Structure 1
Amino acid sequence: MKMNLPRTLVAAAAFAASLQVCAAQELKIGYVNSERVLREAAPAKAAQSKLETEFSRREKELADTASRLKSASEKLEKDAPTLSETERSRRQRELQEQDRDFARKRREFQEDLNQRKNEELAQVVDRANKVIKQIFETEKYDLILQEAVFAGPRIDITDKVIKSLNGGASK
C-alpha cells in the first residue's frame, strides 16, 4: 500500500499541473440547447406547420371514424336486448372488423407521421449543425457542446444559433 502512495501523489500533481496549463490557455466553450433550437427556430416551426398541413386531413378522417365507431358501439349496446342472437353477432363482427381496420389506419398514420417528422427534423438539424460549425469557426471556439447537465448563460450560444437560422430561413 505504501508503494502506491507516491504514484498517487505524482499523478495528482500531474493532474493539477495540467489544469493550470488549461486555465492559462483559456478555452472558449459554447453550449447549444438543441431542444430549444428545434422548438423555437423558424425552420423548425415551418417544418411543424408543414407536417400539420400535410397530415390534418387524415387526422380528421381518423377522428371522424373513431366517433362513428363509438356511436355504432353505443347503438349496438343499446339495441342488444331487442336483437336476435344472429343479428347481434353479425353486428358485433362488423364492429370488430371496422375497429381492426381503424386500428390499422391509425397505426399507418402514426408511422407515416413519424417518418415525415424524422425527415423534416433531420433537415433542420443539418442546417443547425452547419450554423453551429460556422459560429465555431468564425468566433474561434475550442468546443461547442449540444448536451450538458448544466451550462451557464455565459457560454449558452443557443440564441445566436436560433437568430442565424431565422435569418437564413428563406433557404
Structure 2
Amino acid sequence: MCLTRLLLMSILCLSSVSWIGAQSKVGIVDSQKIFSTYAGAVDAGKELEAENQKWAQELQQLDDELKRQREELERQRLLLSEARRQEREQEIGALTGQIKKFREDKWGENGEYFRKQQELMRPVIERINRAINQIAEEDKYDLILDTVQGNVLYARERFDITPEVIDLLESEAP
C-alpha cells in the first residue's frame, strides 16, 4: 500500500514537472557577452578605465616622490643635523600618509572608483534590464536566466536570447 502510494506520488510529480516545462518558455542571456559587446557598456568601461589610469599615474608620481625623498634622506643623513633629519622623516611620514589616504580615497571600499563605476554602470544595467524585460514581454518568456551566475550548466543555443538583447540595445542607443 505504502509503495503504491509512493509510486503514484512520484508519477504525479514527474508528470506535473514535465507539464510545467512544456508550458513555460525559458530563455538565457550571457550578461558577460552583453557587457563586452554592447557599445554603451564598452564605452562606460573605457571611461572608468581612463579615470583609473589617471589615478594610477597620480599615485605613481606620489610613490616616485616618496622614493626620491627617502633616497635623498639616506644620502644626506650624515650631513644633516638631528633636527633637520627629524623634519625630513616627518615629511616622509606625511607623504606616506598622503599616499595611503589617496589609495583609500580612490580604490577603498567606498572610494571614487566604486562610486564612478556605479555612476557609469547603473544606467547601462538599467538599459540592459529594460531590453531583457521588453524581449521577455514581447516574446512571452516565462523565465530568463543569466549564464554568468552559474545557474545554467547547459542550454541549447536556441534558448540564448543574448544576440536579440544586444541588437535591441544597439538599435536604441542614445
Q: How would you bin the TM-score normalised by the shorter chain?
A: 0.7 to 0.9
Structure 2 counterpart of 1:158: 162
Q: 1:9 to 1:69 in 2, by over 3 A?
A: same
TM-score, structure 2 as length reference: 0.81
Structure 1 counterpart of 2:116: 116
Q: 1:17 to 1:58 in 2, by over 3 A?
A: closer
Q: What is the CA RMSD across the aligned residues, in angstroms?
A: 2.4
Q: 1:51 to 1:20 in 2, by over 3 A?
A: closer
Q: CA deviation at 1:41?
A: 1.1
Structure 2 counterpart of 1:95: 92
Alpha-carbon distance between aligned partners in 2 of 1:17 and 1:79, rounded to the nearest angstrom = 86
Query: Per-residue displacement from partner, 1:110-153 (whole Å, max 9, x unpaired)?
Result: 21121111122111110001000111111221211123242423
Question: Are the equivalent residues in 1 in contact too, given 2:66–2:92 (CA < 8 A)?
Answer: yes
Question: Are the equivalent residues in 1 in contact too, given 2:145–2:152 (CA < 8 A)?
Answer: no
Where structure 2 has 5 or more consecutive residues not aligned to the other structure, the ranges are: none
Q: Structure 2: which amino acid aligns with 1:37? A: I
Q: Secondary structure at the match of 1:145?
A: strand
Q: Secondary structure at the match of 2:144?
A: strand
Q: Percent identity?
A: 32
Structure 2 counterpart of 1:142: 142
Q: 1:39 to 1:102 in 2, by over 3 A?
A: same
Q: Which moved more, 1:57-66 or 1:13-22?
A: 57-66
Q: How many residues align?
A: 167
Alpha-carbon distance between aligned partners in 1 of 2:67 and 2:17, rounded to the nearest angstrom = 67
Q: CA deviation at 1:51?
A: 3.0
